Structure 1
Amino acid sequence: MVTFLYLDKGRTYTVKETKRPGDDYLLNPTEFKAVVDNDGTCTLKNNDETVSQVVNADAGVITLNKKGNDNGPLSGVTFELKNEAGEVIQTQITGDNGQLVFADVPMGSYTIVETAAPDPYAVSADVTKVTLSRGASQKVTVSRVNALSQVVFHKRGIITETCAGDPQHAPLEGAVYGLYKDPECAAEPVYTAVSGNPGDGCKVVFTGVARGTWYVKEITAPQHYMLDTTVYKAVVDSDGHFDGLANLDDTKVADNHVVDAAVTTDIVLKKVNEQKPDEVLPGSTYGLFKKAAKALPAQARSFSFFGTESAAETEDESEWQQIAEATTGQDGYLRFEGVLMGVEYSIRELKAPEGSHVSEKPVNIKFGINEAGEPVIESIDLGLADPSDPNSPPTATVDPETGEIVWLEPSIVAEISKTDMNANLLAGARLRITVKDGSGVYIPLTQADGQPAEWVSGEQPETFVKLMKIGKDYRLEEIEAPSGYKLAAPVDFTVRTPEQGVGPGENLTEQVVLKNELTSFFISKTTINGTDELPGAVLAVYETAGDGSIACDEDGNEIVAKTTTGENLSWTSGKEMKKIEGLPAGTYVLRETTAPDGYEVAEEITFTLVPDGTVAVGGKTCEGNIVRMQDKPAAETGTPDVPDKPQTSSSDHPDANNGAATGIAGSVSPATFWGVLALLSVAALLVCSIVVWRRKRW
């Protein structure tokens, strides 16, 4: 209770608390009126309302400890205490001990906001919320730590090839940057920093940077990357905050990322004919492949080629991935632009030009940088036929002057052989190659000179280079068979590349063989209506002239036919049919020069040996390919004029060769025979008549 004594009656006094009852209470700021009436009664009023008691509000205390980047006390940091309405009720600054106190704070909820920090500390954007209530939460202590001002940006590097399309970049470790006060960056940098590890985004961090405008420039680029000579602006504002890099014209750097271009080079490939290296080949399609690597190009494998070492690169075990594709032009060249250093590439042929096979082996290549900073081939696998033999044929070579890869393309080679059934080469066959067109019809194959692929076989196989195409259907046809051989049936073939391709120096050749059989037919000598062969007949086959008569040599001698095997076709029939092989196609005359004993000489037979090996007489094909000549027995006349010896034919007496239509002929014509027989009969009748007459007289 508060008591005031000796107050005058009829007067009004002002009552105000001048000292709070303790640290846990706030001083009551209200001014009360004490009214003393005429009878001496005193009434305490607040705005005309009678007050029976005065209540003190609880007092709260908020203590804040501020530390710096080194975890020591940080002085000079300004804080504001705001109530729930956002009104600032107190402002305090940390002292040398890094502490400040918000005292006599009424119970309630508050926020503590940092508004200023000493250079080179950044004003923290953190907001601390505090609630005061009677009891344990009436006094609260909070701690805050300030960070030094920083200039931070991300370093990235190009990781894709120009030929692969839109450039892509990834965090790049190991770039060294300087922070300068002058825009020319001529003096020594005030701060330096190195881009960190990829897990943290490869940040470049300058810490403890004073407020003001700074300039950033790259000092050293990571291995396999080009130095970025661009100067960037970095502004640390009055609160010690950095809002990202800007260009000198104050345009912001996109995403606060600074990107280094990679050191690159081009893969230049020249495609030539393996058999004719001076001939360039357009239209060959290649793919560029690379393996995904866990390490960046900056962490490439050691450059043993240059005698230096670098961090080892760890590759995953994934398959090669195609990143680009290119096709050789009319000059035989293609180019994969902008390939990276320290990355192993594989060049593989995807599609061969017309007339060529796809190469089996790839060429693997990796580029590095020499001491002069120039891109060079660090390692290359030229796709040797035998990787264990450095002298084995390569898929490609490298031009020592230009560094170009010269790819040796295996051509499609077709070797056409014309042989007999014993695989002996045959000359003299007229051959041609046809190709199936879109409608399924075989048409003549045209060579580069516009002429059809047609030739006469010789003593060696015929070779065609780059004439045929992969997957096309071809047909080897014989127009005219060699002398003494049947016309062979066509041979169809399709040129295909092995699934794995054709290796260097493999000299893959499409072997096509067209085999010919000797012409073969039989000559049978039998009796009329007989089936068994008739031995003893002397027979011969004669060549014919253009008019169908028997051909004669310069001396007028009839020419006996001869087979390609060297046999003269003159023989005596035996118990087996005569087999004739190797007689050239044409028209011939079969003549019996001497008939067996007791048989008449048969009529000559003209027959034709067709190119396909069949034999025809009188335009009709002989059954079984057999030319049949039949003899009939000689007539027994019983007169001295009929000789008892083998019958022979003579070309000087045409009548001697006239036979029946069946091919049967004799030395005496049927009319003569029957005439003689009639005379003999008349004579016999006369003799008999004379004998009978004499007997009657006797």
Structure 2
Amino acid sequence: ITGAPVEKWTSGTTPKELNLAPGTYVFHEEAAPEGLLKVTDITFKVNYDGTVTVTNIGEKDAKGESNTVVTDGAKITITDKTDDLPRKITFSKVNLGGDEVEGAEVEIYKGDTITGAPVEKWTSGTTPKELDLAPGTYVFHEEAAPEGLLKVTDITFKVNYDGTVTVTNIGEKDAKGEMNTVVTDGAKITITDKTDDLPRKITFSKVNLGGDEVEGAEVEIYKGDTITGAPVEKWTSGTTPKELNLAPGTYVFHEEAAPEGLLKVTDITFKVNYDGTVTVTNIGEKDAKGESNTVVTDG
């Protein structure tokens, strides 16, 4: 294909008729319609009897397949194949600080629902994940988030024929009632897992040696491992256990005053875990009797 073409056109809904003198020509597809692969250059001959003969079917196409060309008298039919070649798409799973997060269990489903088996699945690491995906619609599904982070809801995206990616549905609101945070940049999609600081329901039971709830203990809960600043919760114990909503983290149980006839406990450090359980991390100093605090956790 040297010099200027003798004919050029954009295909339409009907075949194209040309008047060509007998001789050898090259059919060159400069650009294929979106969703189709262009054929490689095809050499053909217009014969003196008005028929056409393909003399060189061309190189293999982007799929590594031969062109599909059929002649019938003076007609030549050339087939553009579907462009389902994979594009390289990069997935970045980050925290609010922009750092890649490890341990997110991710699945990619073909189509706009998570039905059947995923076409790809992986556990996130310290670097973005590269996948080869054909053009089309997919769902990003986070099966499980790393500890301390909230998983995102399902996100629908489209791999375009030009190799870029577009989010078509950002998904439902997350467990915090907030929208997912998703950014695309060319062939890269960055999805942010937010910090899991949702409160968990924790129950405090203040009992005597007989196991009965005691009234009148003045209790304070401090965030962190020291009793500094203002307590995040405070109450006076009654005849039933006290339920609090506490975000995951470390706290100090401080008994400001015990009911008459009872010794107050020393400060006890505990941790609210992401699974909603509680762990005592420091049972505290010995009490006024020189004995250790008696603390039991259950869930």
TM interval, shorter chain, is 0.3 to 0.5
TM-score (norm 2): 0.47
TM-score (norm 1): 0.24
Larger radius of gyration: 1
Higher-RCO chain (CA-CA 8 Å, sequence separation at least 6): 2
